């Protein structure tokens, strides 16, 4: 897989507090792992609204961030008008916390359920191929 990475993304990761940086880098790792596992030919890593974001040709944008106003949590954001988060709620309502139809929210002191999150990431990276499937194929 070809990763096209904006060098400014690294700067954003370096600016996160030490207690947050590894959590954010773990989300990044999961996105890159899924992209590789599903055989994406390319993935773009860039900044949208100053937040690390991933764009796939047949997918929907994935963003991630930690905000100082909510210091005990961080999140992975999805396009709020898509079927992504509503489908995640149907499949994983008891597993994740959500923010409306736009984000999965993680607590800094909790482990991420990686298998389920990777399924969500896969749905986002392939969204335009799976949006017609019930629950996006989750």
- Rounded to 5 degrees, φ, ψ at 15 are -85, -15
Domain limits at 54?
A: 2-137
End-to-end CA, the chain: 23
- For 2-45, write each residue's pLDDT tens digit: 999 999 999 999 999 999 999 999 999 999 999 999 999 999 99
User: What is residue 103's predicted lDDT score, i.e. its pLDDT?
Assistant: 98
Domain count, the chain: 1
Question: Residue 78's pLDDT band (boundaries 50, 70, 90)?
Answer: very high
User: What is residue 47's predicted lDDT score, i.e. its pLDDT?
Assistant: 98
User: What is residue 46's predicted lDDT score, i.e. its pLDDT?
Assistant: 98
pTM of the prediction?
A: 0.97
User: What is residue 95's predicted lDDT score, i.e. its pLDDT?
Assistant: 97
Residue 92: both structure tokens together: 């994983």
User: What is residue 85's predicted lDDT score, i.e. its pLDDT?
Assistant: 98
Taking the C-alpha atoms of residue 104 and residue 76, their distance in angstroms, rounded to an integer, is 5
Q: What is the CATH number of the domain that holds 63?
A: 3.90.1150.200
The per-residue b/e assignment along 10-39, b for 16 or more CB within 10 angstroms, e otherwise, is eebeeebeeebeebbeebeebbbebbeeee
Least Cα distance to 62 among 10, 19, 117 occurs for 117
């Amino acid at each position: 897989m070809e990763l096209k990475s904006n060098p400014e993304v690294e700067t954003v990761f370096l600016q996160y507090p030490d207690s947050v940086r590894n959590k954010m880098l773990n989300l990044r790792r999961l996105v890159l792992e899924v992209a590789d596992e599903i055989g994406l030919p390319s993935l773009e890593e860039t900044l949208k609204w100053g937040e690390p974001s991933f764009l796939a040709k047949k997918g929907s944008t994935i963003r991630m961030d930690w905000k100082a106003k909510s210091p005990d949590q961080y999140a992975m954001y999805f396009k709020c008008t898509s079927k992504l988060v509503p489908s995640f709620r149907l499949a994983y309502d008891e597993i994740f916390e959500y923010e409306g139809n736009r984000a999965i929210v993680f607590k800094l002191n909790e482990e991420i359920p990686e298998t389920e999150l990777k399924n969500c990431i896969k749905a986002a990276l392939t969204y335009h191929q799976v949006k017609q499937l019930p629950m996006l194929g989750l």
